[in-house]
Amino acid sequence: MGVSTGSAQNRYSTGAMVFHWVIAIAVIANWRIAAVAEHASETDAAYWMGHHKALGISILALSILRLLWRLAHPVPAMPNSYATWEKMLARTVHFIFYVLLIGLPIGGWLGVSLFGGNVDMWGLFTLPGLPVGEARETGKAIIGLHKTGGEIFIYLIALHIIGALKHTFWNKDGTLFRMLPFGKPNR
């Protein structure tokens, strides 16, 4: 790990950093996989959706582990320079992130289950459908909500990135470095 010039109390733990960046990359990759599937032929769409489902379940597992990690490892306090509304917005967006990181994969799995399907985890094993019975119309509605939730997630990710960049480069308070093993996070 690189040399840290910031105080450990101002920085997230190494485990939190690893979970953050792995999940962030997986979520963005899964969003792009879904977009490719949406514009692909029926055969190719099934192939890509197989990857989307498996990566979604992986994101669910990682998110549960991340949440457990967070409960056991307190997060650093937000910088004193944040306005009250910025602190409230950051907390709200992070809470919604956890809801979506857990809810979207479960919703997708539920939708697939309502079509009588299961989730193939890249040929390693298969997660059976949830025991909900087959109800295609309900499955369509759940998948529709899943898609809408995914779109909301992407907008919130953009807001999160803009906020981190604003604080790091405009306010120069080192916010981005709180989630990186290098640089100087400020209080």
Please give the domain boundaries of the chain with CATH numbers for all domains: 8-179 (1.20.950)
Going by pLDDT thresholds of 50, 70 and 90, the confidence category of residue 184 is confident
Q: Using one digit for the tens of pLDDT, what is the confidence trace for 145-179?
A: 999 999 999 999 999 999 999 988 898 888 889 99
Going by pLDDT thresholds of 50, 70 and 90, the confidence category of residue 1 is very low
pLDDT > 90: what percent of the chain? 79
Alpha carbon distance 90, 97 (integer Å): 10
Is pLDDT above 80 for 4?
no
Is pLDDT above 90 for 6?
no
Q: Is the pTM of this model over 0.85?
A: yes
